[in-house]
């Protein structure tokens, strides 16, 4: 992809872009979260994104995080519209035994977090974000070929142009370097639903 299409919402401690690979070094105490459960609002993670008005597309990226070592160190895929409307998919380091592979969806200033535990020695994950109008799907893969669904969600603020890309952050007193590669923008890989048809008023039951 042409990295000139990407712009920082916030810049990291350091960044290197070369031969299609982006290396991002995080600053301590950087994160994305809004209100739910913790009651705090963190909105200072570095986010590198491009824009599109296309209603149907898929964006994929490979992440490598061999240096993550402190609780909540994370990197992954993101669609950041504004401070109160965004989604992300990532692996968050927890301890020497396991990490959290998960996703956060934030609508109108409230975040949720869906996770599953994976081994701590897993240090590479692919992600794919697909858009169908104002609905989105996040997937993950270990090889960039076989994809597993992580989340289907609706984004209330995603009616027109959206921004999407990559992020990395260290919510606690830590810093690490994340590597992003194999970024690709393609036709939508999330096919139209072929099961129950919508109700006559246009809404699903």
Domain ranges of the chain: 3-186
Mean pLDDT of the chain: 95
* For residue 191, pLDDT beyond 70: yes
pLDDT score of 195: 82
Q: Which residues 6+ apart lie within 8 Å of 149 measured at CB?
A: 137, 138, 139
Q: Which residues 6+ apart lie within 8 Å of 128 measured at CB?
A: 58, 59, 60, 77, 138, 139, 140, 141, 147, 189
Please give the CATH topology (third level) of the domain spanning 3-186: Jelly Rolls (2.60.120)
* For residue 201, pLDDT beyond 70: no
Report the percent of the chain where pLDDT is more than 90: 90
Q: Label residue 42 exposed, middle or buried (CB < 10 Å: 0-12, 13-18, 19+).
A: middle
Convert the pLDDT of each residue in 129-188 to its tens digit. Answer: 999 999 999 999 999 999 999 999 999 999 999 999 999 999 999 999 999 999 999 999
Question: Using CA atoms, how far apart are residues 53 and 99, in angstroms rounded to an integer?
Answer: 34
* For residue 205, pLDDT beyond 60: no
pLDDT score of 202: 55
* For residue 51, pLDDT beyond 90: yes
Residue 95 vs residues 24, 67, 113, 137: alpha-carbon distances, Å:
22, 13, 18, 28
Joined together, the tokens standing for residue 167 give: 């992020």
| Average pLDDT of the residues in 56-63 | 98
Distance of CA 149 to the CA centre of its chain: 13
pLDDT score of 198: 78
């Amino acid at each position: 992809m042409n990295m000139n299409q990407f712009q920082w919402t916030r810049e990291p401690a350091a960044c290197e872009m070369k031969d299609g690979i982006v290396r991002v070094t995080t600053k301590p105490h950087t994160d994305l979260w809004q209100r739910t459960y913790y009651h705090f609002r963190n909105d200072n993670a570095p986010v590198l994104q491009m824009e599109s008005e296309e209603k149907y597309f898929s964006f994929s990226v490979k992440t490598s995080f061999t240096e993550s070592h402190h609780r909540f160190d994370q990197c992954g895929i993101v669609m950041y519209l504004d401070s109160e409307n965004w989604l992300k998919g990532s692996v968050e380091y927890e301890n020497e035994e396991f990490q959290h592979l998960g996703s956060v969806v934030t609508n109108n200033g409230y975040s949720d977090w869906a996770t599953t535990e994976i081994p701590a020695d897993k240090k590479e994950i692919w992600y794919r974000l697909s858009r169908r109008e104002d609905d989105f799907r996040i997937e993950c893969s270990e090889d960039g070929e076989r994809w597993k669904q992580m989340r289907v969600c609706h984004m209330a603020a995603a009616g027109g142009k959206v921004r999407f890309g990559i992020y990395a952050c260290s919510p606690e007193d830590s810093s690490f370097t994340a590597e992003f590669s194999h970024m690709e923008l393609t036709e939508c890989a999330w096919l139209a639903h072929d099961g129950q048809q919508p109700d006559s008023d246009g809404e699903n039951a």
